Amino acid sequence: MGNTYTPPEQEILFLLNQVINWQELFELPGYRHADSELGAAIISEACRFSAEVLSPLNQAGDAEGCHLTNGNVQVPDEFRKAYGLFTEGGWPGLDLPLRFGGQALPITLTTAVSEMMNGACVAFSMMPCMLRAAAALLAEHADNELKERIVPAIVAGGYGATIVITEPQAGSDVGAIKTYAIKQNDGSYKLTGTKIFITCGDQNYTEQIIHLVLARVKGADPGTRGLSLFLVPKRSFDKPEDINHVSVSRLEKKMGLKASPTCVLNFDQALGYRIGKEGKGLNCLFSMMNLMRLEVATQSVGIASAASQSAASYARERKQGGQTEASIMQHADVRRMLATMQAYTEAMRALVLETSFNLDKSRHAEKEQERAECRALAEFLLPVCKAWCSDRAFEMTNLGIQVMGGHGYIADEGMEQYVRDCRVLSIYEGTNGIQALDLVMRKLLLKQGTGYTLFVKRIEVDLAKHANHPKLERLAKPLADGLNRLKSCTDLLVNIKVDSLRDAEAAATPYLQLVGQLAGAWMLFRIAAAAENGASQLEKYTHAQFYMEYLLPESQVYEQRIRSGAKAIDKCF
């Protein structure tokens, strides 16, 4: 009963060493204190921790859930024990600065570790996600006193943290936020308002919780320009026995992630401290937005990998078909679904690691031009990673149920939990429609497509590198055709007239999907080339071939939708 997750350690190491070439990172000034051997050892230990500590929690935590008792949230006891082991192992601070107790290791390494932990139990991994985001934000924007007091405690796992934005009337439209702050004579603030959908808004992992709250100073401008960011502790810093005026009025009953508490928080003149300049709250949040997008993409890869493993294991063992009793793996349609799951999972994993690699180089490459180019490429790919990967993860988990039939639909085997747990990934940290608008309206049109140009150039370089390779030719042609399709659609959008921007908005989602589909093909082409002389050569090649011949042609559908503009949509309403 249930399934057992096996972290894909060797797959990840193959990508890092043979495809991404992460050895380059340890030659950069910011990472010379480590090397790829240390990175591999950390991945091996994360593999063990994920399999032995986290994976057994997944279904049990889903069944038990969280509970609100006398205004306090209780997480499953086994989750608390696992969190203790997690913090003792130093996992919260892998890529955070040394001065705060972190290890200052590459984002790429953290991404690899995070995939395995999310594949084992994504509900548990929501808490570490909040810690990492809050610590990074405070390290960049808080004043020195707050940094030194709080960031080391978050990195050590002694403080919990939340990102507090959404309100009942203000979801994606953050300019409609009503929570307000009144400045006090000592420079602190009192905050009042209600926030919803707050991940780990309360929990009993830690005694102290640091809420990072987006609110409006009383009398500030309306809209987003009037928003500031505040740090609101659950307990007084000076008297930890005193609870600040923050209360939990409801624990949300959710479709999935039941062992991760999502709270409604009420602030009733709660004491807070401003982070950054007044009216610059969104600017502060933007500094952690890239990490959060990357984390959602990584969660998507983790769940897709777990679902793919589970479905393949079931298909190999399930006997069906009359007197011969062959496994259902022999059926063409089952193989179609499993091949789709495997190919997409491999492509997603490689794309997320490639994006992480570019984020690392954007921080520590020695030349400013290289840092700028890596930053532009990563920022172009991040909305694609978040949206394309989360959409594919939901598709993969649904295919998993289809492979397993009735056994996939019931709770015993665990596949239906993957469907429920990953459904929110396309919603939070900016819905996928918003990611698509960001890609087209900002990254492509407003920023003159710098990241897009670099993306195209990278694919062209890889195609040219293997132009005379007879075996890769069969993969190169569909990749080149897909690239030409993207260029044609991009030309259409960048030349769009100002009075026709509605067509660009309507094209945003299919355009993002087109970029994602092509990016996946690019990754699998690189994987097949890297595996040419390896033991897994045939498997890597066949997955890439399946993707090129069976999945990449979907890009033709996205092209048609891009070209149709807004007319077909607007006629419906």
Residue 558's domain is classified under what CATH number?
1.20.120
Give, in degrees to the nearest 5, the angle at Cα 390 between 170 and 418: 105
pLDDT reported for residue 56: 97
- Spatial distance between the Cα atoms of 30 and 481, rounded to a whole number of angstroms: 39
> Do 242 and 309 have their domain in common?
no
> Do 412 and 521 have their domain in common?
no
Q: For the whole model, what pTM was predicted? A: 0.96
Q: Is residue 180 part of a domain?
A: yes
332-339's contacts with Cβ under 8 Å and 24+ in sequence apart are 334/403, 336/550, 337/311, 337/399, 337/402, 337/403, 338/308, 338/311, 338/312, 338/403, 339/543, 339/546, 339/550
Low-confidence ranges of the chain (pLDDT < 70): 1-3, 321-324, 533-536
pLDDT reported for residue 239: 87
- Please state the domain count of the chain: 3
Q: Is residue 130 part of a domain?
A: no
Q: Is residue 70 part of a domain?
A: no
Among 64, 429, 532, 549, which one carries the catalytic annotation?
429
Domain boundary among 411, 426, 441: 426
* Local structure of 327: helix, strand or coil: strand
- Spatial distance between the Cα atoms of 314 and 61, rounded to a whole number of angstroms: 23
Domain boundary among 383, 400, 426: 426
Is the distance from CB of 169 to CB of 319 less than 8 angstroms? no
Is residue 429 annotated as part of the catalytic site, yes or no? yes
Residue 214, domain extent = 135-279
Q: Is residue 349 part of a domain?
A: yes
pLDDT reported for residue 348: 98
pLDDT reported for residue 16: 98
Q: Is residue 1 part of a domain?
A: no
Q: Is residue 457 part of a domain?
A: yes
